[in-house]
Amino acid sequence: MDEVVRYTYRLRPGRTAEKVLLAEWDRCRWLWNEAVHQHKSGRKPTFARLGKLLTRARASMPWLREGSQVAQQQILRDYARALEHSFTVKGCGRPKVKSRKRSLPSLEYTRRGFSVREGRLMLPKGIVIPVVWSRELPCEPTSVRVNRDSLGYWYASFVARREIAAPPPGEGGIGIDWGVATTATTSDPAFDLPHIGHRRRCAAELAKVQRRMARRHRKGRPPSRGYADAKRQAARLAKKAARRTVHDSRVWAKHVVDRHDLIAIEDFQPAFLAKSTMARKAADAAIGAAKGALIERAVRAGRKVVMVRPAYTTMTCSACFARAKERLELRERDFRCEGCGFAASRDRNAARVVLAVAERGHVGVEDVRQSDHLLRVGGSVAV
Ligand SMILES: [Zn+2]
């Protein structure tokens, strides 16, 4: 078995290389915008048509010829794909003009447009960029996308084919309940994902910088240098926190998926309310990252994934499926069943309910109760 994956690394282009990359992006951006205008003037630009136009344009315009043909073809291919996508997907807008200020540089090179030599990325027109090899590429990459983010950092994202070892056979199922203090509580305590301390530290640092931003903010006057510095620092910290969260999520997801063949997940949707606190937002972001990583990993490993509706999971007994008469208050952290006497922490019980629902082939507590009830009264329901 093999799969296509992206490997992303930081780039450290020198001043000259960065200037050349930006000039390359300007030419590609111009081509994209030309294609947008073509479409507006009523002709549907397919990639074949755009390719011919590119050949002609390069023949007549020396400044265009100064750029890499591979990157230029690639942006037109991207455009044609985006246009096709906008026709087939309902509610998707046509590709828009890429403005100099708003769009972020992004260049794609196929195999004949780049190479990696002595640890450096070699691009057409003599561009040489040192790469920070944070991990090894598994094999020869087939293409690379070079892009700059909003903070001004450059990245190279290589597309590579990777051999994957079949995951070890799992041992039964696991249920997952999401929360604030503990990001993921699972039916087996060994797999819990705590809301890790360094996130709290990042949040504290971020809050400090945001206070500095507030102090330096001058109402009705152009932003000061100190304000701009603080804003940049805040963006950098937020990015760092997000990166760590994603990393932790991936490590945890692998740990969980390698050992289970049924992954039952509470289908929790964070609300991202404007009014919610910073801590709540950070917790929701951690849940989002962990849920995404878990589903991706589990599907890739061919495990069975069941999304369970969150309704009633905290007020149902995971041992006998009796439902408590009243909803547990949020501050009550323990669950005790009045029917069978089963007691566990509120989140642990919910994780066990999520697993039990999935094991019975359902996606909601209500479904289990209904089918159980029908069986009890002797209904003729095929299960
Ligand atoms: Zn019970």
State if pTM tops 0.85: no
φ, ψ for residue 214, nearest 5 deg:
-65, -40
- For ligand 1, the distance from its centroid to the CA atom of residue 184, given in whole angstroms, is 23
List CB-based neighbours of ion ligand 1 within 5 Å.
317, 319-320, 322, 337, 339-340, 342
Give pLDDT tens digits along the chain (383 positions): 677 788 899 999 999 999 999 999 999 999 999 999 988 887 778 888 899 999 999 999 999 999 999 999 999 999 998 888 888 766 667 889 999 888 999 999 999 899 999 889 999 988 999 999 988 888 889 999 999 988 889 999 999 887 777 777 888 999 999 998 899 999 999 999 988 755 667 778 888 888 988 888 888 888 888 888 888 888 888 888 888 888 899 999 999 999 999 999 999 877 666 677 777 777 888 899 999 999 988 988 889 999 999 999 999 999 999 988 887 777 788 999 988 999 999 999 999 999 999 999 999 998 887 877 776 665 444 43
Domain residue ranges of the chain, discontinuous segments joined by +: 2-163, 173-306, 309-382
Instruction: Kindly report each contact of residues 29-33 with a partner whose C-beta sits within 8 Å and lies 24 or more positions away, as own/partner.
Output: 29/75, 29/98, 29/100, 29/103, 30/64, 31/57, 31/64, 31/72, 31/75, 31/76, 32/75, 32/76, 32/78, 32/79, 32/95, 32/97, 32/98, 33/97, 33/98
- For ligand 1, the distance from its centroid to the CA atom of residue 342, given in whole angstroms, is 5
- For ligand 1, the distance from its centroid to the CA atom of residue 276, given in whole angstroms, is 34
- For ligand 1, the distance from its centroid to the CA atom of residue 339, given in whole angstroms, is 5
- For ligand 1, the distance from its centroid to the CA atom of residue 321, given in whole angstroms, is 6
Measured distance CA(38)–CA(26) in Å, rounded: 18
Give residue 228's identity as a one-letter amino acid code: A
